[in-house]
Structure 1
Amino acid sequence: MSVKHCRQTYHKDSTADLLVLDDVNLTLHQGEMVALLGRSGSGKS
């Protein structure tokens, strides 16, 4: 599985969006695993 140039923002409030990913590239090969870590409410889902 590959992800290329991933960018993600979340609407934070009426004045600004929160950029959480910017130009992220990731390649996973069969049998590999990855974990996302972060505080509660940080947008891991």
Structure 2
Amino acid sequence: DVASKIMSFSQQGPRAVCILSANGAISNVTLRQPATSGGTVTYE
């Protein structure tokens, strides 16, 4: 479930989550942490 993954990601520490848009079925999600090197998590 994408919503639970986003909630889990946001609860790992002090951070902000901004969802620019969403529509219909979601097949994959990429979460980026610009402050860290290689800070990308992809859920499919």
TM-score by length of structure 2 reads: 0.24
Structure showing the higher strand proportion among its residues: 1
Structure showing the higher helix proportion among its residues: 2
Bigger radius of gyration, 1 or 2? Answer: 1
Compare relative contact order (CA 8 Å, sep 6+) and give the higher one, 1 or 2: 1
TM-score by length of structure 1 reads: 0.24
